[in-house]
Amino acid sequence: MLPTPYAVGPVNVYLIMGAEPTLIDAGPATREGVEALRAGLAAAGLGPGDVRRVIVTHAHPDHYGGLALLGDEGRWEVAAHPRALLWMSGDPGMLDARVAFYVRFLEQAGVPASLLRTMERESLGLRSYPRGIALHRFLGEGERVKAGDGELVVRYTPGHASSAICLERTSDRLLFSGDALLGRISSNALVEPVGAWTGDRRASLPEYVRTLHRLRSLEVDLVLPGHGDPFPDHRALVDERLAFYRARRDHVLALLGGGPATVYDLCRSLFPGLERDQLFLGLSETVGYLDLLEEQGLVGHTMSEGVLRYHRQAGRTLSPSARAG
């Protein structure tokens, strides 16, 4: 467990010992994080140079940032889903495109101009993301990757991040879940593009709901998450999360009973008193419920002056299957 400067609290890094010592994630790019990582390795009689492979569960800075500080010491292979390149690449053009992508999202969400300018000035925290980290191997669904003395099967689990993978160890029915399934907190399905940063937004929450159903079907006994303690009975937790998203989705539909609204309006109603530094997360979550409702044909949107307005589709109600979904 490594400390992070983020609201989520400490992050878990797993070391799998054996012929090919393997790390799952590397913690944040902070001195404290890297010291804790070194101490953890030392307790196992290893130094960074002994680690054969680092598998990154998803390209969020609390999970891969440590690689930026330890880069020269490690002789490891860094393995991640190809989508991780969108965050970990050192291409400065990609960074500008990323900021532009999120500014466009905020504009279309109806964030007031003055607030938007402030958020843009702060670059949404995006410019501080560690990058320029070499990826040596791309991992995709079903691939097998050696770890310690055994191997892990890659499960592609997009939603929280488009680069998210879980790692299943079938020999003892373990699942390293990254942030795709956490015991204590529901994972935010964050706004990301379909392809490159210049493209359209992907529907992250519907994608994540499909991932949850997929995770539910896995035959595992224990989940080792990216944050918090390991937990059994992942199916009960998946059901809890699905019920949570359904309830909030229905809440957003009810809010739209008051007439058309922007993502920003709905976010303010859904999360009153949200601080500015949490606003992006709130907007990301709100648009996710709208995506779910649009997929079910319950909600539509129009665009005027660069701002999206969502409305209820007349005469449509939640079908029994949508309720169960």
Q: Which residue ranges make up the site for Zn ion (CB under 5 A)? A: 60, 179
The total of other beta-carbon atoms located within 10 Å of residue 199's CB is 11
Task: Compare residues 179 and 285 and give the one whose CB is closer to Zn ion.
Answer: 179
Task: Compare residues 64 and 289 and give the one whose CB is closer to Zn ion.
Answer: 64
For residues 103 and 280, the answer to whether their CB atoms sit within 8 Å is no
Residue 59 CB, nearest approach to Zn ion (Å): 9
Residue 227 CB, nearest approach to Zn ion (Å): 8
Phi, psi of 292 (to 5 degrees): -60, -45
Give the separation between CA 127 and CA 123, rounded to whole angstroms: 6
Residue 255 CB, nearest approach to Zn ion (Å): 27
The total of other beta-carbon atoms located within 10 Å of residue 62's CB is 26
Residue 179 CB, nearest approach to Zn ion (Å): 4
Residue 233 CB, nearest approach to Zn ion (Å): 22
Task: Compare residues 73 and 229 and give the one whose CB is closer to Zn ion.
Answer: 229
Give the separation between CA 84 and CA 176, rounded to whole angstroms: 17
- Enumerate residues 6+ apart whose C-beta is below 8 A from 277: none
For residues 50 and 86, the answer to whether their CB atoms sit within 8 Å is no
Residue 25 CB, nearest approach to Zn ion (Å): 10
Amino acid at 209: V
Task: Compare residues 60 and 202 and give the one whose CB is closer to Zn ion.
Answer: 60
Task: Compare residues 61 and 325 and give the one whose CB is closer to Zn ion.
Answer: 61
Q: Is the dihedral of CA 78, 81, 85, 88 positive or negative?
A: negative
